Amino acid sequence: MSTNMPAFERIMRISTQYLLGCLFLLITFSALPVFAQTADTHIKQGDIFYRQFDNVSALASYKRALEMQPGDFECLSKVVRAYNDIGEDLSSEESEQYYEQAVQYAERLQQMFPDRAKSYYQLAVSYGNLALLRGSKEKVKLSSSVEKNIRRALAMNPDYADAYAVLGIYYKEVASLNGFLKTFARLFFGDLPEGTYDDALKAFRKAIKLKTTRPVYTYFLIGRTYEEMDEPEKAKQAYLKAVGFPNTDHRDHAVKERARNRLRSL
């Protein structure tokens, strides 16, 4: 700096450089916390949409957060849940693309977090939903994956209420398989576990006892199982319990309507 520069101008230049340096440090050290807060804001907004049963908006918020925090367990898990929820809301052939996405994200979740029971639960749910829209043989194949992953989840967390509900669905589906599909399953996948309707009821009751997050749907499934067993009075009792619970899940309104329809038909 020239010694001939007036003292006032030198002081102003030094002050300007100092302020610019402070501003640079402030921006540098605040960048990461602001980034994290932004991702957290998206997750919280997604949770609000989820509680309002607006799963499309919830998914959009969760995916924005996941772009910022690709290694976050809860965020990735919520993306899987949202894809499954949207597929369940649609309840049509359009659901398949959402279930396929759910499977992809669930597989990523399981690979990144193999020590979490929820990883295997989410994967089992995703396979199970996709199986509903596939042909009989592929349905059997996917069901085998459901059973393997849900048992892994329960081995890691024996008190996993929602996992018992999924296990009950698996047993119910196995019990209803026709002879051809059971033969196919044994031929290509080894011995298929001999799931029975009694096994299904035991798993559903365990889910209820452990406070499943989906009691309405679980009681509805109990009712359907009793109908398969030709026990209409017990089915009615289960359906009445289903319609008596407050709505806590995005499917509860539709499930209650199905339960009321079954009550009218029995």
- pLDDT tens string 241-255: 999 999 999 999 999
Q: What is the model's pLDDT at position 264? A: 96
CB burial string 149-184: b at 16+ within 10 A, e below: bbbbbbebeeebbbbbbbbbbbbbbbbebeeebeeb
The better pLDDT of the pair 142, 85 is held by 85
pLDDT recorded at residue 164: 98
Residue 196 has what DSSP assignment? -
Give the pLDDT confidence score for residue 63 in this predicted structure: 96
pLDDT of residue 14: 46
Give me the pLDDT at residue 195, please.
Answer: 82
pLDDT for the residue 255: 97
Domain ranges of the chain: 14-70
For the chain, give the percent of residues with pLDDT over 90: 70
Going by C-alpha positions, the residue among 201, 150, 141 that lies closest to residue 175 is: 201
Average pLDDT over every residue of 62-68: 95
Confidence grade of residue 26 (pLDDT, cut at 50, 70, 90)? very low
Dump the DSSP string for 107-137. Answer: HHHHHH-TT-HHHHHHHHHHHHHHHTTS-HH
Residue 18 clears pLDDT 60, i.e. is over it: no
pLDDT for 198-241, tens place per residue? 999 999 999 999 999 999 999 999 999 999 999 999 999 999 99
